Amino acid sequence: MIVLVASLRNGSLASRAAIGGISAMTALFAVYAAGFLLSTNTEFVLQNIWLLYGTSLDMRIVGVPLTELLWGLAFGALAAIL
């Protein structure tokens, strides 16, 4: 919400937020994907620590939880405009 308001007030922040968000999401995806490829017990770990496992929000892209990627996008966008 803060990113949206700041971007609407100052147009130059919108591109910074987009670049920062996409960069953070890409980096997070790479780290998660590499970790999941190297781990042999990914499903066991997710089942034990991820509160969204088995719910309607348990959506993944190449094994990486979509909710984590959205968090990375939001955090990257906010960090880029601060």
Each residue's pLDDT tens digit, 16-32: 999 999 999 999 999 99
The reported pTM is 0.83
Own/partner long-range contacts of 4-7 (Cβ < 8 Å, ≥24 apart): 6/81, 7/81
Please report the pLDDT score of residue 79 as a whole number: 93
pLDDT for residue 8 is more than 80: no
Q: What is the mean pLDDT of the chain?
A: 89
Task: Give dist(CA 58, CA 14) in Å, integer.
Answer: 30
